A and B are shown apart, each in its own frame.
Chain A
Amino acid sequence: MKEIIVLAEHRRGELRDVTWEMLSKGRQLAESMGGEVNAALLGKGVGSLAEALKGKANRVFLVEDSRLDVFNSVTYEKVLGQLLTERKPFLTLMGHTAMGMDLAPALATQLNIPIATDCIGICLDGDKGVLNRQLYGGKVNAEVSFVKEGPYLVTVRAGAFPVEEKSPLSTEVVSLPSPLTDEGLAKRFLQYVEAAVGEVDITQADILVAVGRGIKEPENIPMVKEFADAVGGVLACTRPVVDKKWLPKDRQVGTSGKTVKPKVYIALGISGAFQHTAGLKGAGTVIAVNKDPKAPIFGVAHYGIVADMFKILPVLKDKAKELRKR
């Protein structure tokens, strides 16, 4: 029977959303080929997480060890290497997340199994997998296939697969012994460092005016700030603007920044890479201005304007100020 194993991703006592997304997709794939979907849960004192996974997988393989208290690619690679060698699942799913990116390529190399990363579509056609992923920052999609026979390892983009409501599965929790020993590791976890707290909390704003790469120069930011102030909004941005140190990190919307939920989100010169739009899921109305009619942001926006933001912005700013005065 064909088995699919999903690595349950959790951090600080909480299962991450991508886990439910992978279990949902895994179940659909397993059902289509008459197999089963199982979860692998590694940690210390994670019994409650195993409980939470009940109904979503046929089996939960639980490995508890004090050395698995926090994620470390070295310990995870060892434990999963053993599990996958024993079970030989047809497909293993992990998130294309900070965790999966550190772990999956190393694990696939250790086991010498084919890997495809950052997938947004998975179709298992007989013994051959067909996958969808994105190229050029999401400007085009690609269909790729595995060249070699499975078992396969696929990392999936967070948010790419919906969580479908289905009748609960009867789940068996299987505790497995940990293969870890006290041998020293070449890579040692020291601590977490919290995200810096800034002067504004963009997650609480009703209106956000956000700028991306299209802002071109830091000198252009004050004009956007003026517009944001005039509409009673708060200034936000994409990662490239933070990388260039033009705005502080606490203004960043996206995977590595904040997830926001404004009533209105105005995106100026933002192409719409998924790392950014992943932070926009809770936004009400998204209005996007971009020069490129094929920019992915128009797939997310409710209203789109194909234009040079610098032709629109001065008029927007002046008119908003005028209306505000009344």
Chain B
Amino acid sequence: MNIIVCVKRVPETSEADISIDKSGKDIDKSGLAFDLNEWDSYAIEEAIQLKEKIGGTVIVLSMGGEDSNEPLRKCLAMGADDALRLTDQAFNGSDGFATAKILAEAIRKFPYDLILTGAQAEDDGFGQVGVTVARLLGVPHASLVNRLEIQDKKVKAHRELEGGLEEVYEIDLPALLTLQTGINEPRYVSIMGIRKVAKKEIKAMGASDLGLKPEEVGLKGSHIQLEKVFFPSVGEGAVMIEGNAEEITLKVLDIVKDRGGLA
């Protein structure tokens, strides 16, 4: 089974103190740690587990500058066979649609039975790239998959719906699946593991290598463009409780008691 996985490098923001940069169009990323997009870490893990179980190859793709070699190397250390980075000045400003075009053209260069991506990225959260890639390649897809099983030339995929309900599909291969978090337990990658693949070549391909014209990618090839970013208004916001741990505790327990707790 030949599997292709698309991944993205993203800043870790869930617990970081964020500020907006001078351009007003993005957050200030200096000082932030970067990692493999969380959803994608499940996609690469699933690919490697499938390879371990039924054999085959895993090729991992990422669009981005040289920094994107980091997550690609992490994927190699996890067990991917090959990594490819898609990079070009012309790619700057690509939205979800333009990104999908770039990924789709790169995927066409390889034989594949299955394409896996994360269901969405932590940063822009489009949740559209995987399904768009599938449609551009003309292969069937399922998004938000939280369980899958390969059966001969088919895959049985569980899609996670609202409220914990699932719908199960049988899909002919080749197919593309976008994965939900929690589908597996991504393996830990040690520094030693990364060192072992440090010398492995990560090829880079640009627009012309992919047969894409500059006007088909980047902002010109996009549907939407970012105008500005701003902090969400918090509405009335919360009443802030201040003080030391004891003072805060008493206030919190007062509120709980007032509403019928501690009884």
B-contacting residues of A (Cβ < 8 Å)?
Answer: 11, 16, 70-74, 96-98, 101-102, 104-106, 108-110, 114-118, 130-131, 133-148, 158, 186-196, 206-207, 213-214, 230-233, 239-240, 242-245, 249, 252, 255-259, 263-264, 266, 271, 284-288, 291-292, 294, 296, 298-307, 311-312, 315-316, 319-320, 323-324
Contact A101 to B238, CB < 8 A, known contacts A109-B132, A139-B13, A245-B185: no
Chain B residues numbered 191-240 whose CB sits less than 8 Å from any CB in chain A? 219-220, 222-235, 237-240
Let me know if B131 is at the binding interface, CB within 8 A: yes
Cβ–Cβ < 8 Å partners of A323 in chain B: 253, 257, 262
User: Which of A105, A109, A138, A315 has the most B CB atoms < 10 Å from its CB?
Assistant: A105
Q: Nearest Cβ distance between residue B170 and chain A, in whole angstroms?
A: 5
**Are B181 and A312 in touch, CB under 8 angstroms?**
no
Residue-wise, chain B 235-252 has the 8 Å CB interface mask toward A (1 for contact) of 101111110011011111
Residue-wise, chain B 146-172 has the 8 Å CB interface mask toward A (1 for contact) of 000000000010111111111111111
Let me know if B56 is at the binding interface, CB within 8 A: no
Q: Nearest Cβ distance between residue B6 and chain A, in whole angstroms?
A: 14
Cβ–Cβ < 8 Å partners of B30 in chain A: none
Let me know if B97 is at the binding interface, CB within 8 A: yes
Contact of B168 (CB < 8 Å), options: A117, A191, A304:
A191
- Among the 9-residue stretches B61-69, B108-116, B122-130, the one with 4 or more Cβ atoms under 8 Å from chain A is B122-130
**Are A106 and B131 in touch, CB under 8 angstroms?**
yes
The 4 A-B residue pairs with the shortest CB-CB distance in the complex, in nearest-first order: A195-B164, A304-B238, A243-B182, A114-B223
Cβ–Cβ < 8 Å partners of A263 in chain B: 259-261
Let me know if B189 is at the binding interface, CB within 8 A: no
> Chain B, interface size: which category?
35 or more
Let me know if B96 is at the binding interface, CB within 8 A: yes
Contact of A117 (CB < 8 Å), options: B127, B172, B234:
B127
Contact of A316 (CB < 8 Å), options: B143, B156, B232, B252:
B252
Minimum CB distance partner of B127 in chain A: A101
Cβ–Cβ < 8 Å partners of A239 in chain B: 181-182
Cβ–Cβ < 8 Å partners of B170 in chain A: 187-188, 190
**Are A298 and B234 in touch, CB under 8 angstroms?**
yes
**Are B259 and A284 in touch, CB under 8 angstroms?**
yes
**Are A134 and B238 in touch, CB under 8 angstroms?**
no
Task: Give the distance in Å from the alpha carbon of A291 to the alpha carbon of B17 in the complex.
Answer: 9
Cβ–Cβ < 8 Å partners of A72 in chain B: 169
A-contacting residues of B (Cβ < 8 Å)?
Answer: 11, 13-18, 20, 27, 96-97, 100, 119, 122-129, 131-132, 134-136, 139-144, 156, 158-172, 175, 180-182, 185, 219-220, 222-235, 237-242, 245-246, 248-253, 255-257, 259-263
Cβ–Cβ < 8 Å partners of B140 in chain A: 74, 186-187
**Are A102 and B144 in touch, CB under 8 angstroms?**
yes
Cβ–Cβ < 8 Å partners of A240 in chain B: 181
**Are A114 and B224 in touch, CB under 8 angstroms?**
yes
Task: Give the distance in Å from the alpha carbon of A320 to the alpha carbon of B249 in the complex.
Answer: 9
**Are A194 and B165 in touch, CB under 8 angstroms?**
yes
Task: Give the distance in Å from the alpha carbon of A6 to the alpha carbon of B141 in the complex.
Answer: 23
Q: Nearest Cβ distance between residue B133 and chain A, in whole angstroms?
A: 9
Contact A256 to B241, CB < 8 A, known contacts A143-B230, A292-B15: no
**Are A145 and B230 in touch, CB under 8 angstroms?**
no
Task: Give the distance in Å from the alpha carbon of A26 to the alpha carbon of B225 in the complex.
Answer: 23
Other than the known A102-B131, A102-B143, A256-B162, what 8 A-B pairs have Cβ atoms closer than 8 Å?
A70-B167, A106-B132, A115-B96, A187-B169, A187-B171, A189-B169, A292-B15, A316-B249
Cβ–Cβ < 8 Å partners of B225 in chain A: 144-145, 147
Cβ–Cβ < 8 Å partners of A142 in chain B: 226-230
Q: Nearest Cβ distance between residue B226 and chain A, in whole angstroms?
A: 5
